[in-house]
Amino acid sequence: MRDFERSAMSLTFKLNDGAQIPWLGFGTGTALFNKDSTEAVKVAIQNGVTHLDGAQLYRNEESLGQGIKDSGVPREKLFVTTKLAETPSAPTIKATLKESLKKLGLDYVDLFLIHSPVVALREGKLKQWWKEMEEIKKEGLAKSIGVSNFTVEHLQIILEDATVVPAVNQIELHPYVWGVNSKVYSFCKDKSIVIESYGGLSPIVRAPGGPVDTVLASAAERLSKESGTTVSLGQVLSKWLIQKDVVVVTTSSKVSRIKEALLTASLPDLTVDEISAIETEGSKVHKRFFMKHAFNE
């Protein structure tokens, strides 16, 4: 049973620590990597986005913070995420987060993630890193803590000694990685770890012409007729993720795209057959576009 609250423009999922995370996160990586994200973040917030997804690795935390400030929306109405770089910039993880908070102009983040397990695993520090993350949560510098780009094996390592189960695992998730990522998806569901997807629109943005296109088009046509509005292929992909209880992290500089994305939650649901077809067709090919080294690809 999905644990969420739905309205015309909002949808939240409940994390295992009791916090609520908005279903749509505005990402400041990829297109905004190492760029000034101030205006894009401000526009996103002013058009209804409340969840901002940043990272130390993106090198734009200052502008993310400025965009938040310029939006005029009170801090308590926003959900802000940042992530620990693969190679931390300070001796302790807490020190790196304090650097991030200074850049963001915030006293705390709602969610702090280990961006990748690769370096910590290689150095035998994965469990130590997670213990430091638990201390950060205890001190209130991050309301919730989690991970990103973790496989089942990575999660099993930290869970051996964890006193706090990660609230989130943010991974690349779309139909063309469903065949391999369904394993970590199922593991996280069993552990009440919410999955966040990035790169969710990759089948139409980075790999058009693939086997899933026909299914998406058919579903978009049905939903358009049923809802009385034009439904895009991207909305179908996001709807699939929502119905898998997955948070969607995406980016757009266009107001029309932001509004379109926000409306996705209130569209009619995909049918069981449509969901099955998306996963069946998606599993016919494997295309991962990000963080291949974390998944040994």
Distance CA 248, CA 10 (A): 13
Residue 191 token pair: 């552990």
Sequence-ordered strand ranges (E) for the chain? 4-6, 11-14, 20-22, 24-27, 51-53, 79-84, 109-114, 142-148, 168-172, 194-198, 246-250
Q: Cβ(182)–Cβ(215) under 8 Å?
A: no
pLDDT of residue 120: 96
- Percentage of residues in the chain with pLDDT exceeding 70? 97
pLDDT of residue 60: 93
Structural domain for 10, as ranges: 4-201+245-253
Burial class (CB in 10 A: 0-12, 13-18, 19+), 48: middle
d(CA 151, CA 43): 34
206 part of a folded domain: no
Tokens found for residue 140: 């209130």
Q: What pLDDT, on the 0 to 100 scale, is given for residue 6? A: 41
**Would residue 277 count as lying in a domain?**
no
Rounded Cα–Cα distance for residues 34 and 96 (Å): 18
Cβ atoms of 206 and 234 within 8 Å: the answer is: no
Q: Is residue 78 part of a domain?
A: yes
Q: Which residues are catalytic?
A: 58
115 labeled part of a ligand binding site: yes
* Ordered DSSP codes for 117-150: SHHHHHTT-HHHHHHHHHHHHHHTSEEEEEEES-
Q: Is residue 295 part of a domain?
A: no
**Is residue 285 domain-resident?**
no
Residue 251 has which token pair?
Answer: 């980016």
pTM of the predicted structure, to 2 decimals:
0.95
Both structure tokens of 41:
């973040």
pLDDT at 3: 43
Is residue 294 one of the residues assigned to a domain? no
Here the CATH number for the domain that contains residue 144 is: 3.20.20.100
Cβ-count burial 224-247 (b if 16+ within 10 Å, e if not): eeeeeeebbbbbbbbbbbbebbbb
Total count of domains within the chain = 1
Please list the pLDDT of the chain residue by residue as tens digits (297 residues): 344 334 434 789 999 999 999 999 999 988 888 788 999 999 999 999 999 999 999 999 999 999 999 999 999 999 999 999 988 888 999 999 999 999 999 999 999 999 999 999 999 999 999 999 999 999 999 999 999 999 999 999 999 999 999 999 999 999 999 999 999 999 999 999 999 999 999 999 999 999 999 999 999 999 999 999 999 999 999 999 999 999 999 998 889 999 999 999 999 999 999 999 999 999 999 999 999 999 989
CA nearest neighbour of 136 among 100, 106, 112: 112
Looking at this protein, which amino acid is placed at residue 133? M
Residue 33: what pLDDT? 80
In a domain, 231, yes or no: no
How big, in percent rounded to 5, are the helix, strand and coil portions of the chain? 45, 15, 35
Q: How far is CA 186 from CA 1, 182, 193, 274, in A?
A: 14, 6, 10, 20
280 lies in a domain? Answer: no
